[in-house]
Structure 1
């Protein structure tokens, strides 16, 4: 059966049919999916009842797995999953929802802020692939914003103003905006800010996009309040309904997105009920700021 893609939003997002991601991809199918990612930036696959191993195998068609170190405050001995996937559930090692005052739960609430995965890394992520294993009965939609269309809609004066700006990104900025400031010295070192361009160009089609995230907390060359006000204004612009797709999860959905072209957030949901979501993350290949190359090595 041939792969078919139906566009779901005016600017982006493709719904894929005719593909069982449990089966190995041919080289032609992998190229077709990657080309669709370049075009749509977000792809939705329904009815994909997959294992962790199958999810990771599918993801590896598009690059190398990202090293997860430095992306959370969960200790290794407390990991729930014995697989290379990122656990973005609300569950503890016992399989039950984490207590509301649990440190990992409080930290993970930052996923409700608009962000781009791993913008806090010197070399940020390429793709994320999120699988719905248990869907929460209330809330928990994921929203995606097309940062290419948002950039295109800016006036020429603003485009010129922000073209060469550099931002500092850190998990401490995003979590700090929610009042989470409790870090060990080791975590502070691990979460040190990295530099990212505010405007980036996609390597395949050369289209420009805004590179925004709640992890961005400072604009180089500006005072902190001035820089944050600019970032807030740009984020407000980029997350207007015109540029946003809302994904309402159904069981076994797999959603794949390009972090170089989009921003996303999960909406609040009933934390007393389980929500089991597992993410495969494909590493990026280069920093957005050349000076970061040494820091990434």
Structure 2
């Protein structure tokens, strides 16, 4: 089994062929996949018609499986090892666009990274395409490592050490959703995450952004939100973004620690079914030492930077 890598974007993302994920993966082949994951941050595996059990088996090779609590309080279609990225109800029928679960899922169209609102954030996610609408429904990914590299040096120094508070309730409020279970504040309270972090596996430093990020800790709320919006706009410029045009059988693996993603609109009367599994990271970024943040060599991409701003 000899895998082949083909870059799909100048900065990140590679297609992986020559491997059958429906069968057990030898350790030496998995080591090559894992190395490519650290290098490219996003891997696309076309033509992988996985069952749920096969997807779980492959996901567990990357670390502990995250379970998906019922945030919206609706009857669910899949077991809790999966996040259901679909427009179907628990009986497989297309949801009414005004359905509570559909309203909750609108948050997936905001730029975000999975589980940044958890104390144990997500390491990576794997999304398997089962049914795809004829038009729309793409997923876009943004490279937070290259965005960080492209910032002016003065801006980088201003961002180091800043901490953002992340909350699922905040991000869903941006789309008008307020139908959480009553215990959401207890089960998923806001958590702090570094705005900039370093990843020794790749030797890269990255922004850590998401629509879940509510404000900068210690700053006036509106001032912090303005900074987060400014950085998100910068980091999602065209040169940092890859668009996945789904085909049935595609599996996409991405690093949640150094990328963001968003789903694109589609006709809600057409079926769109993708199954997501997620791997938990070892800890929240805020609790780990910041030892090498900013110490790595930067690969400048020449993008125009955000203007300097004094940090109080």
Shorter-chain TM-score: which interval?
over 0.9
CA deviation vs aligned residue, 1:172-205 (integer Å, no higher than 9, x gap): 1111111223444312323321110000111312
Equivalent residue, structure 2, for 1:74: 73
CA distance in 2, matches of 1:170, 1:226: 18
Equivalent residue, structure 2, for 1:111: 108
CA displacement at 1:280 relative to structure 2: 1.1
Select which of 115, 119, 124 maps to 2:121.
124
CA displacement at 1:287 relative to structure 2: 1.2
Equivalent residue, structure 2, for 1:203: 200
**Of 111-120 and 180-189, the range deviating more from structure 2:** 180-189
Alignment of 1:208-227 (within 5 A): 208-227=205-224
The answer to whether residue 195 in structure 2 is matched with residue 165 in structure 1 is no
CA distance in 2, matches of 1:163, 1:157: 10
Select which of 270, 273, 278 maps to 1:273.
270
Equivalent residue, structure 2, for 1:252: 249
Select which of 257, 261, 264 maps to 2:261.
264
TM-score (norm 1): 0.94
Equivalent residue, structure 2, for 1:20: 20
CA displacement at 1:9 relative to structure 2: 0.3
CA distance in 2, matches of 1:56, 1:171: 25
- The question of whether the paired residues in 2 share the 8 Å contact of 1:11 and 1:243 is answered with yes
- The question of whether the paired residues in 2 share the 8 Å contact of 1:30 and 1:62 is answered with no
Equivalent residue, structure 2, for 1:295: none
CA distance in 2, matches of 1:56, 1:183: 27
TM-score (norm 2): 0.89
Could you list the structure 1 runs, at least 4 aligned residues long, displaced by more than 6 angstroms after superposition: none
CA distance in 1, matches of 2:177, 2:253: 29
CA displacement at 1:68 relative to structure 2: 1.8
CA distance in 1, matches of 2:265, 2:20: 31
CA displacement at 1:50 relative to structure 2: 1.0
Equivalent residue, structure 2, for 1:239: 236
Q: Which runs of 5+ in 1 are unaligned?
A: 292-297
- The question of whether the paired residues in 2 share the 8 Å contact of 1:52 and 1:83 is answered with no
Equivalent residue, structure 2, for 1:294: none
CA displacement at 1:67 relative to structure 2: 2.6
CA displacement at 1:214 relative to structure 2: 0.2
Q: Secondary structure at the match of 2:285?
A: coil
How big is the alpha-carbon RMSD for the aligned residues of Structure 1 and Structure 2?
1.3
CA deviation vs aligned residue, 1:206-249 (integer Å, no higher than 9, x gap): 31100000000110011111000000000000000000000100
The answer to whether residue 225 in structure 2 is matched with residue 228 in structure 1 is yes
CA distance in 1, matches of 2:241, 2:99: 31
